[in-house]
Amino acid sequence: MDTIDYSQHSDDYRRIEKAIQFIEANFQSQPTLDQIAESVFLSKYHFDRLFKRWAGISPIQFMQFMTLDYSKQKLAESRSLLDTSFDAGLSGPGRLHDLFVTFEGMTPGEYKKQGAGLEISHGFTDSPFGDCLIATTERGICHLGFVKEDSRSDVLNQLFETWPGASFKENPKPVSTIVRRIFEKDQTKNMRPFNLHLKGTNFQINVWKALLSIPEGWVVSYQDIASYIGRPKAIRAVANAIAINPVAFLIPCHRVIAKSGKIHQYRWGATRKKALFGWEAARSA
């Protein structure tokens, strides 16, 4: 199978992100496909081709996945299947379509050191959702963040602030391989798990572990996560832990939405969260 050109996918995503923003800004007038394509300076034909290359489906199909009615429906369907998923996920490694994710939190002593003595390698690369930063320690991936509004410094600062005592080394060569392992389905067969090395409190770690149990194409509410970690009244604390998830996509915080069905509040941009939601819905359809 041909290798996917992620620089092309990253460029496609930038236009798709602008198209989603245009649709949201003009939702009341229900813009036509011609108008949406024109907003990103493409013909309807080229816009349709770009969308199918990126998402595998047409823009019209994709927009159906992004309606409030669809997200509410998926929330209801997912909740009816949650018991089995969470029971399985919390007792073993998280399953993300064909990916297995395992992680270890820092010991209390390591947490207190704030990464002192740790060497972190990092680099930027293209992905299906734009430019992203990946960072690793010898024990696993410790950060995956998407670049917002072409500001690499913001996502780099997120990494530095999480590990203030660590030493950092720029090494972009391995990160493209990691992205390919994450996003190419054919790369996921017969491969080793993704190991994550995370810095967080016990509560945060428990929340992030719960997120690993949400399969691709499903969504849950913040209340659902609070209930399944045995803290049903700690909804705000759960939301705060989700908001600072350090590893995008592999820890799928984008699959948690408001109880109303609204898709918003994402560390790397609400529009990107909607794009992730629609992209996974298309892959799971």
**What residues act catalytically?**
253
Cα(first)–Cα(last) distance of the chain, in Å?
22
Contact residues for 45 (Cβ-Cβ < 8 A; gap 6+): none
Contact residues for 191 (Cβ-Cβ < 8 A; gap 6+): 181
Between CA 130 and CA 279 the distance in angstroms is 13
Q: Quote the tokens at residue 80.
A: 């009816």
Contact residues for 8 (Cβ-Cβ < 8 A; gap 6+): 53
One-letter-per-residue 3-state SS of 202-262: HHHHHHHHHHCCCCCCCCEEHHHHHHHCCCCCCHHHHHHHHHCCCECCCCCHHHEECCCCC
Q: Which residue has the tokens 């309807």?
A: 44
